Structure 1
Amino acid sequence: MKVSELLAYCMDKAGAEQSEHSDWKATQIKRDGVLFAMFHEVDGHPAVSLKSSEALAELLRDAHQDVRPSAHLNKAHWNTVLLDGALKDSQLYYLVDASWQQALGSHATQH
C-alpha cells in the first residue's frame, strides 16, 4: 500500500488533523489532540505506527515480521507496520480503524 493512500484514509476519519513531528521526521494524525497514526520511515521503508490493545499488538508481532514495536511510542500498545511488507490493504485499514477507536476511547476518558 502507498503511504498517500493510507494517509488519505486516516484523514477521512472524523476529526482527523495532520501535523509534523520534526524530531522524528514523522507525519502525525490526531483526533482531538490524541495520536492515532504516525507515518515515518524505518530503515528506508515507508511505515506507519498504530495503536491497539496489548493483546493485539503482541499477536501481530508474533504473526508478521513486518510488524514491530514502535521505537518512539509505548511499545505495549504501539506497533510500527512496514507499508511495503506482506500485510494486506484490508488488514492495514482494520488496524487504522482500531487505532482511531483507541483515540476515541482515550478522548472520552479525558473529560
Structure 2
Amino acid sequence: MYSKLTAYCLSKKGAVEDYPFGPSPLVMKVGGKMFALITRAEADDEVQISLKCDPVIAANLREQHECVRPGYHLNKKHWNTVAADGSLAVDDLKAMIDHSYELVLASLTKAARESVLLKIGGSR
C-alpha cells in the first residue's frame, strides 16, 4: 500500500517528495507546502497517511470510519491520519488525497499556483 499511496500522490501535478524529518516519514508537497505525510512501521508494515481536510468533512470522516483519526502530531482540526489497513475503499482514500492536494494548491499564492501548474505544462 505504501508504494501505491506514494505513486498516487506523485501523480498529482507539481507534487514532490521530501524528507524534512529524516528518513521517515515521507512528506508529499506541492508548491513547497505539505499535502500528505506517509509513514510505514517496519515492524508490522502498517501504513498511515495524514491528509489536510476541511474541518467539517474531517469530523464527518472520523465519525464514519474507524480508521480515520485526528491528525497525529498535526493540527487536529485540519488534518486526519488514516490507517491504510484495507478497511477504507481505495477510491475513498484517493478522494481524500485529492481533497488534501486541492486545499493546499488553493492556499498557494496565485503566482506560486501558476508556477506549479506551468512547470509541468498543464492547466487546471
TM-score by length of 2: 0.80
1:4-83 matches, cutoff 5 A: 4-22=3-21, 25-41=24-40, 44=44, 45-83=46-84
Q: Secondary structure of the equivalent of 1:79?
A: strand
AA of the residue aligned to 1:14: K
Stretch deviating more after TM superposition (60-69 or 41-50)? 41-50
Distance (Å, rounded) in 1 between the aligned partners of 2:84 and 2:54: 20
Distance (Å, rounded) in 2 between the aligned partners of 1:109 and 1:54: 23
Residue in 2 aligned with 1:91? 92
Which structure carries more strand by proportion? 1
Amino-acid identity (%):
35
Is 1:105 the counterpart of 2:115? The answer is no
Deviation at 1:36, TM superposition (A): 0.4
Q: Secondary structure of the equivalent of 1:9?
A: helix
Distance (Å, rounded) in 2 between the aligned partners of 1:48 and 1:110: 29
Deviation at 1:41, TM superposition (A): 4.0
Q: Secondary structure of the equivalent of 2:27?
A: strand
Cα RMSD between the aligned structures? 2.1
Checking the alignment, whether the CA contact within 8 Å between 1:66 and 1:85 is kept in structure 2 is: no
TM-score by length of 1: 0.89
**Bigger Rg over Cα:** 2
Checking the alignment, whether the CA contact within 8 Å between 1:34 and 1:106 is kept in structure 2 is: no
Deviation at 1:109, TM superposition (A): 6.9
Stretch deviating more after TM superposition (33-42 or 50-59)? 33-42
AA of the residue aligned to 1:69: P
Which residues of structure 1 form unaligned runs of 5+?
A: none
Displaced runs of 4 or more, over 6 A: none
Which residues of structure 2 form unaligned runs of 5+?
A: 113-124
Deviation at 1:24, TM superposition (A): 8.7
